[in-house]
Structure 1
Amino acid sequence: MDDKNKDITKIKDMFWKALFLLYIVFIIYLSVSKPIINYSSFKGEDKIVHFVSYFLGADFFFMAFFKKSKRSYFILFLIFFLLVPLLTEYFQKFSIYHTYSHLDMVASYLGAVCGSLFFAFKYKAFN
Protein backbone atom coordinates (compact mmCIF):
# COMPACT_ATOMS: atom_id res chain seq x y z
CA MET A 1 0.00 0.00 0.00
CA ASP A 2 1.46 3.33 -1.00
CA ASP A 3 1.62 6.44 1.18
CA LYS A 4 -1.43 8.07 -0.44
CA ASN A 5 -3.67 5.06 0.29
CA LYS A 6 -2.35 4.89 3.86
CA ASP A 7 -3.21 8.56 4.36
CA ILE A 8 -6.72 8.07 2.97
CA THR A 9 -7.25 5.03 5.19
CA LYS A 10 -6.02 6.97 8.23
CA ILE A 11 -8.37 9.87 7.46
CA LYS A 12 -11.31 7.46 7.02
CA ASP A 13 -10.50 5.80 10.35
CA MET A 14 -10.30 9.15 12.14
CA PHE A 15 -13.56 10.27 10.50
CA TRP A 16 -15.48 7.23 11.77
CA LYS A 17 -14.01 7.53 15.26
CA ALA A 18 -14.86 11.23 15.47
CA LEU A 19 -18.35 10.60 14.09
CA PHE A 20 -18.98 7.86 16.66
CA LEU A 21 -17.77 9.95 19.58
CA LEU A 22 -19.74 13.01 18.47
CA TYR A 23 -22.81 10.85 17.98
CA ILE A 24 -22.53 9.45 21.52
CA VAL A 25 -22.13 12.96 22.94
CA PHE A 26 -25.22 13.98 20.96
CA ILE A 27 -27.21 10.99 22.28
CA ILE A 28 -26.19 11.77 25.87
CA TYR A 29 -27.11 15.43 25.39
CA LEU A 30 -30.53 14.54 23.98
CA SER A 31 -31.09 12.10 26.83
CA VAL A 32 -30.76 14.71 29.56
CA SER A 33 -31.73 18.01 27.92
CA LYS A 34 -35.10 19.51 27.12
CA PRO A 35 -36.59 17.61 24.14
CA ILE A 36 -36.15 19.38 20.82
CA ILE A 37 -39.16 17.62 19.31
CA ASN A 38 -42.27 16.53 21.17
CA TYR A 39 -42.49 13.02 19.81
CA SER A 40 -45.71 11.68 21.23
CA SER A 41 -47.77 11.03 18.11
CA PHE A 42 -48.49 7.47 19.19
CA LYS A 43 -47.76 5.13 22.09
CA GLY A 44 -44.28 3.63 21.92
CA GLU A 45 -42.88 6.20 19.52
CA ASP A 46 -40.02 6.93 21.93
CA LYS A 47 -39.06 3.23 21.84
CA ILE A 48 -38.62 3.50 18.07
CA VAL A 49 -36.42 6.57 18.56
CA HIS A 50 -34.28 4.66 21.08
CA PHE A 51 -34.04 1.64 18.77
CA VAL A 52 -33.01 3.67 15.71
CA SER A 53 -30.57 5.83 17.70
CA TYR A 54 -28.64 2.85 19.05
CA PHE A 55 -28.92 0.94 15.77
CA LEU A 56 -27.03 3.82 14.12
CA GLY A 57 -24.69 4.09 17.10
CA ALA A 58 -23.73 0.42 16.82
CA ASP A 59 -23.06 0.74 13.11
CA PHE A 60 -20.93 3.85 13.71
CA PHE A 61 -19.10 2.04 16.52
CA PHE A 62 -18.13 -0.90 14.36
CA MET A 63 -17.24 1.32 11.41
CA ALA A 64 -14.91 3.21 13.76
CA PHE A 65 -13.28 0.43 15.74
CA PHE A 66 -13.73 -2.98 14.12
CA LYS A 67 -10.32 -4.19 12.90
CA LYS A 68 -9.02 -0.62 13.04
CA SER A 69 -7.98 -0.47 16.68
CA LYS A 70 -5.99 -2.53 19.11
CA ARG A 71 -8.09 -5.22 20.72
CA SER A 72 -7.88 -3.50 24.12
CA TYR A 73 -9.18 -0.20 22.69
CA PHE A 74 -11.96 -2.03 20.87
CA ILE A 75 -13.06 -3.76 24.09
CA LEU A 76 -12.78 -0.54 26.10
CA PHE A 77 -14.97 1.40 23.65
CA LEU A 78 -17.39 -1.54 23.37
CA ILE A 79 -17.86 -1.50 27.15
CA PHE A 80 -18.33 2.27 27.03
CA PHE A 81 -20.91 1.96 24.24
CA LEU A 82 -22.76 -0.78 26.13
CA LEU A 83 -22.91 1.39 29.26
CA VAL A 84 -24.39 4.42 27.48
CA PRO A 85 -28.05 3.25 27.49
CA LEU A 86 -27.80 2.26 31.15
CA LEU A 87 -26.16 5.54 32.17
CA THR A 88 -28.44 7.79 30.13
CA GLU A 89 -31.54 6.15 31.59
CA TYR A 90 -30.07 6.49 35.07
CA PHE A 91 -29.30 10.19 34.50
CA GLN A 92 -32.88 10.67 33.36
CA LYS A 93 -33.98 9.94 36.93
CA PHE A 94 -32.60 13.38 37.78
CA SER A 95 -33.92 15.20 34.72
CA ILE A 96 -37.09 17.25 34.78
CA TYR A 97 -37.56 16.63 31.05
CA HIS A 98 -37.27 12.84 30.89
CA THR A 99 -38.28 9.81 32.91
CA TYR A 100 -36.43 6.58 33.61
CA SER A 101 -37.80 3.61 31.69
CA HIS A 102 -36.62 0.02 31.55
CA LEU A 103 -38.38 -0.34 28.20
CA ASP A 104 -36.39 2.56 26.74
CA MET A 105 -33.22 0.80 27.83
CA VAL A 106 -34.42 -2.48 26.29
CA ALA A 107 -35.24 -0.68 23.02
CA SER A 108 -31.77 0.90 23.06
CA TYR A 109 -30.03 -2.45 23.56
CA LEU A 110 -32.19 -4.13 20.90
CA GLY A 111 -31.23 -1.35 18.50
CA ALA A 112 -27.55 -1.84 19.34
CA VAL A 113 -27.79 -5.61 18.78
CA CYS A 114 -29.62 -5.17 15.47
CA GLY A 115 -27.13 -2.48 14.41
CA SER A 116 -24.29 -4.87 15.22
CA LEU A 117 -25.92 -7.61 13.14
CA PHE A 118 -26.47 -5.13 10.32
CA PHE A 119 -22.78 -4.23 10.42
CA ALA A 120 -21.79 -7.93 10.43
CA PHE A 121 -23.92 -8.65 7.34
CA LYS A 122 -22.65 -5.50 5.63
CA TYR A 123 -19.03 -6.35 6.48
CA LYS A 124 -19.40 -9.91 5.19
CA ALA A 125 -21.12 -8.77 1.99
CA PHE A 126 -18.59 -6.10 1.07
CA ASN A 127 -15.30 -7.58 2.33
Structure 2
Amino acid sequence: MVDKKYKDIKKIKNVFWKVLFFLYIVFIIYLSISKPIINYINFKGEDKIVHFISYFLGADLFFMAFFKKSKRTYFILFLIFFLLVPVLTEYAQKFSIYHTYSNLDMVASYLGAVCGFIFFGFKYKAFN
Protein backbone atom coordinates (compact mmCIF):
# COMPACT_ATOMS: atom_id res chain seq x y z
CA MET A 1 0.00 0.00 0.00
CA VAL A 2 2.74 2.46 0.97
CA ASP A 3 4.79 1.44 -2.07
CA LYS A 4 1.85 2.21 -4.41
CA LYS A 5 1.35 5.65 -2.82
CA TYR A 6 5.07 6.38 -3.23
CA LYS A 7 4.90 5.40 -6.93
CA ASP A 8 1.80 7.57 -7.42
CA ILE A 9 3.50 10.56 -5.80
CA LYS A 10 6.62 9.99 -7.90
CA LYS A 11 4.51 9.81 -11.08
CA ILE A 12 2.68 13.04 -10.19
CA LYS A 13 6.02 14.72 -9.46
CA ASN A 14 7.41 13.66 -12.85
CA VAL A 15 4.33 14.95 -14.68
CA PHE A 16 4.50 18.20 -12.70
CA TRP A 17 8.08 18.93 -13.82
CA LYS A 18 7.28 18.12 -17.45
CA VAL A 19 4.19 20.33 -17.51
CA LEU A 20 6.11 23.12 -15.78
CA PHE A 21 8.92 22.87 -18.34
CA PHE A 22 6.56 23.05 -21.33
CA LEU A 23 4.60 25.95 -19.81
CA TYR A 24 7.89 27.76 -19.25
CA ILE A 25 8.91 27.21 -22.89
CA VAL A 26 5.53 28.51 -24.09
CA PHE A 27 6.03 31.54 -21.83
CA ILE A 28 9.53 32.15 -23.25
CA ILE A 29 8.23 31.88 -26.83
CA TYR A 30 5.37 34.24 -26.02
CA LEU A 31 7.73 36.81 -24.51
CA SER A 32 10.03 36.48 -27.52
CA ILE A 33 7.38 37.48 -30.05
CA SER A 34 4.98 39.69 -28.11
CA LYS A 35 5.24 43.34 -27.15
CA PRO A 36 7.94 43.65 -24.44
CA ILE A 37 6.71 43.99 -20.88
CA ILE A 38 9.94 45.72 -19.82
CA ASN A 39 11.71 48.43 -21.77
CA TYR A 40 15.43 47.61 -21.68
CA ILE A 41 16.97 51.04 -21.24
CA ASN A 42 18.86 50.82 -17.94
CA PHE A 43 22.19 49.76 -19.43
CA LYS A 44 23.65 48.22 -22.57
CA GLY A 45 23.40 44.43 -22.63
CA GLU A 46 20.58 44.21 -20.12
CA ASP A 47 18.58 41.99 -22.49
CA LYS A 48 21.53 39.55 -22.67
CA ILE A 49 21.27 39.05 -18.91
CA VAL A 50 17.54 38.34 -19.29
CA HIS A 51 18.30 35.77 -22.03
CA PHE A 52 20.99 34.15 -19.88
CA ILE A 53 18.74 33.87 -16.81
CA SER A 54 15.74 32.67 -18.85
CA TYR A 55 17.63 29.79 -20.42
CA PHE A 56 19.53 29.02 -17.22
CA LEU A 57 16.15 28.42 -15.55
CA GLY A 58 14.88 26.60 -18.65
CA ALA A 59 17.83 24.19 -18.62
CA ASP A 60 17.35 23.47 -14.93
CA LEU A 61 13.63 22.82 -15.51
CA PHE A 62 14.45 20.64 -18.51
CA PHE A 63 16.76 18.40 -16.53
CA MET A 64 14.38 18.30 -13.56
CA ALA A 65 11.67 17.11 -15.97
CA PHE A 66 13.56 14.63 -18.13
CA PHE A 67 16.87 13.54 -16.60
CA LYS A 68 16.57 9.85 -15.64
CA LYS A 69 12.78 10.17 -15.79
CA SER A 70 12.27 9.54 -19.50
CA LYS A 71 13.35 7.00 -22.03
CA ARG A 72 16.64 7.94 -23.67
CA THR A 73 14.94 8.60 -27.02
CA TYR A 74 12.46 11.06 -25.48
CA PHE A 75 15.23 12.73 -23.51
CA ILE A 76 17.27 13.31 -26.68
CA LEU A 77 14.24 14.52 -28.67
CA PHE A 78 13.24 17.01 -25.99
CA LEU A 79 16.86 18.11 -25.57
CA ILE A 80 17.02 18.87 -29.30
CA PHE A 81 13.71 20.73 -29.02
CA PHE A 82 15.04 22.77 -26.09
CA LEU A 83 18.27 23.55 -27.94
CA LEU A 84 16.32 24.74 -30.98
CA VAL A 85 14.16 27.19 -29.01
CA PRO A 86 16.75 30.05 -28.94
CA VAL A 87 17.33 29.74 -32.70
CA LEU A 88 13.62 29.57 -33.50
CA THR A 89 12.66 32.48 -31.24
CA GLU A 90 15.44 34.69 -32.59
CA TYR A 91 14.45 33.81 -36.14
CA ALA A 92 10.79 34.60 -35.35
CA GLN A 93 11.92 37.97 -34.05
CA LYS A 94 13.03 38.88 -37.59
CA PHE A 95 9.33 39.14 -38.40
CA SER A 96 8.30 40.92 -35.20
CA ILE A 97 7.75 44.65 -34.98
CA TYR A 98 8.63 44.57 -31.28
CA HIS A 99 11.94 42.67 -31.33
CA THR A 100 15.07 42.42 -33.44
CA TYR A 101 17.18 39.42 -34.38
CA SER A 102 20.49 39.20 -32.51
CA ASN A 103 23.18 36.56 -32.60
CA LEU A 104 24.40 37.81 -29.22
CA ASP A 105 20.98 37.09 -27.71
CA MET A 106 21.31 33.53 -28.98
CA VAL A 107 24.81 33.25 -27.50
CA ALA A 108 23.54 34.54 -24.15
CA SER A 109 20.68 32.02 -24.29
CA TYR A 110 23.03 29.10 -24.97
CA LEU A 111 25.48 30.23 -22.28
CA GLY A 112 22.57 30.35 -19.84
CA ALA A 113 21.50 26.84 -20.89
CA VAL A 114 25.03 25.46 -20.43
CA CYS A 115 25.38 27.10 -17.02
CA GLY A 116 21.92 25.76 -16.09
CA PHE A 117 23.08 22.29 -17.06
CA ILE A 118 26.23 22.66 -14.95
CA PHE A 119 24.14 23.95 -12.04
CA PHE A 120 21.80 20.97 -12.36
CA GLY A 121 24.79 18.62 -12.39
CA PHE A 122 26.10 20.07 -9.11
CA LYS A 123 22.62 20.02 -7.60
CA TYR A 124 22.05 16.43 -8.70
CA LYS A 125 25.36 15.26 -7.20
CA ALA A 126 24.73 17.13 -3.97
CA PHE A 127 21.26 15.78 -3.35
CA ASN A 128 21.40 12.26 -4.82
TM-score w.r.t. the length of structure 1 is 0.98
Instruction: Output the CA distance in 2 between the equivalents of 1:84 and 1:114.
Output: 16
The offset of 1:91, in angstroms, is: 0.3
Instruction: Output the CA distance in 1 between the equivalents of 2:41 and 2:100.
Output: 14
| Correspondence 1:102 to 2:84 | no
Q: Which runs of 4+ in 1 moved over 6 A?
A: none
Instruction: Output the CA distance in 1 between the equivalents of 2:97 and 2:114.
Output: 29
Residues 39-90 of structure 1, C-alpha deviations (whole Å, 9 max, x = no match): 2210000000000000000000000000000000000000000000000000
Instruction: Output the CA distance in 2 between the equivalents of 1:21 and 1:100.
Output: 23
Query: Structure 2 matches for 1:55-74, cutoff 5 A?
Result: 55-74=56-75
The residue aligned with 1:32 is 33
The residue aligned with 2:78 is 77
| Correspondence 1:120 to 2:121 | yes
- Paired residues of 1:20 and 1:60 also in contact (CA < 8 A): yes
Q: Aligned to 2:43, what secondary structure does the other structure show?
A: coil
The residue aligned with 1:21 is 22
Instruction: Output the CA distance in 2 between the equivalents of 1:87 and 1:101.
Output: 12
The offset of 1:38, in angstroms, is: 1.1
Instruction: Output the CA distance in 2 between the equivalents of 1:75 and 1:25.
Output: 19
Q: Work out the percentage of aligned pairs sharing the same amino acid.
A: 84
Instruction: Output the CA distance in 2 between the equivalents of 1:39 and 1:18.
Output: 30
Q: Aligned to 2:18, what secondary structure does the other structure show?
A: helix
The residue aligned with 1:42 is 43
The offset of 1:23, in angstroms, is: 0.2
Residues 67-119 of structure 1, C-alpha deviations (whole Å, 9 max, x = no match): 00000000000000000000000000000000000000000000000000000
Q: Aligned to 2:36, what secondary structure does the other structure show?
A: coil
